[in-house]
Structure 1
Amino acid sequence: MEKKRILVTGSNGFLGHKLTEFILKNPDYELCCTSASVNRNPQNEGYRFQQLNLTDLEGLGRLIDEFQPTHIIHSAALSSVEVCESDPVLCKAVNVDSAAYLASHCKEQDIHLTFLSTDFVFDGQHGPYSEDDACNPVNAYGQSKLDAEQKIIASGCSAAILRTILVYGVIADKKRSNLVLWAKNKLSAGEAIKAVSDQWRMPTWVDDLATACLLAIEKNATGIYHISSDTLFSVKEVVEQVADFWNLDKTLVGSVTAGEIGQAANRPRKTGFVLDKAKAELGYQPTPLHATFERIEQQIKELEKQDER
């Protein structure tokens, strides 16, 4: 059987790290990674890495021609809501133009594309959402992701669009944080924190998301798929779950509203996903929150052992 040749963009990102880890475990895959900065993954052997800015479309095209991927996972993005609002030119270049360029290449060269999108394509008024629900972004980041989705679909390339929500977990790069690790580290240090009590999400374990990307590749899936956990929590409830699991002082967790931190208008209030399509067509099965915490604790210990060597 011919090996699948997978190009991962944004390999220094949270999902990119996990994809690198998972792909390297499969002898049927060959891997090429690219990111805007130097390779920060301590797992740096067994694959090709090229530093490349997504705005360099010519360089991206050359890399595709050289590596000749059978599949591309486009995880790179400008994901800061505030930066997307303040720099619309950069937002479009990184989030929309690169996706359209990749889709065009994929169509021409019969490459399968997996594109990572977001729950922020929705306005948060009617969640949880299915793939067929109407999109109505409330910020420039969500709009750019929706624009990219539409460019990919219009290209006619073979593409799986995976929307996801509030990704968390642990990777080897300690500089990369997320809601769960932030809460755990702050509470472990005895620091009081505030968490938003009036935004609801279905947080996604990064290992589940990476698995979903590889399921999409294995099945050459096409269309839009919702990938997250299957339980709706307020952001504050997630933080309280962290405190409970790691036996930390939950009285340190205070409440703040989205309005008090300027997020009432530019963040969806309640998203969450209906996962029926991903479960039926991809075989995707989300891991319950508590079970992911157990695995995260194991992964933290494994990384600590590696650091000691």
Structure 2
Amino acid sequence: MTAPLTIRTTGRTAVPEDPYTGRTTGRRAKAVPAALLEDRRRHLTDYLLPATVILAGVLVVVAGGFVISHLGQDDTAALPQPQPPALPDVPLDPPPASQFPIPLESDTPTPTPSFSTPPTTRPTTPPSRKERPTPFPGSVSVTRAGIAGLVDLGAEGSRDWVHWGQEGTFSLERKDGGDFAILEGAPTAPRFRHGLSPQRFRWDGGSPVEHSDGTPTGIRTCDKGNGFTLSAPAGTTSRTLKLYVGAVAARGKLTAKLSTGGPVGTATFTQSGNNLATTAYVITYRAPKAGKLTLTWTTDASFDDDCGGVALEAATLR
């Protein structure tokens, strides 16, 4: 390793010294101008000053980092917390004014709040034809029934009963106190009294004949289109009328209808021979309001030009 060379100046001449002994070397060093020495010192200063500035900057940066780190540890709570994104305003349904607090469960029952809803006004429209209730038109039922050998008119006709022909062609025996519920219409053709019925009709409490043990009598007409007309009261309560009729060499037709309208009941009975044949019809009916039931028993066809036609014996109402 080479030792640095020291220059000693004497006057204007610079003599080099031995770095280890301090003695001057044998050679005489050349003299170094003073201006050069001054310039040498200025260059060293120039190097030291920037180094000092850089070192100071590094110290400032380190100190600033330490301060920032310290503040970050102590003031964490002061930093702003992230906020949820803002939502657009949403209208409340229903409005806040109509809302109510939800009660919490408790030991004591809490009455349930009640809310009244204002009635909704709707235009009233008349119901369509299909929606309108169909009024009751009335009912009429006609069935045919057999006849016993002895018919007790008083037992069958709790409301009223009638018998024709006991005393003569135009005689009519009826229940005393029956209020004339069963009525015959005015005759429209000649009639005849007969005693040819195979059944017997009896009664008690009649008028004008109070009692009968049993009679086969009745009345009849001749020729097509002739016959008899009867009527009985009708109402909203179901009623039953039983009609005892016959025919001689003819076809008889029964028609039953209500004065209030509605259904009509019909039936026919035919007797081709010249002897009297009888039958009974049970008519059950009900009207939508007060009215009457009308019965017609006429000769629909006559098979004997002499006197083919229909006959009438009795009727009961209950």
TM-score normalised to structure 2 length:
0.21
Q: Which has the larger Rg?
A: 2
The structure with more strand, counted as a fraction of residues: 2
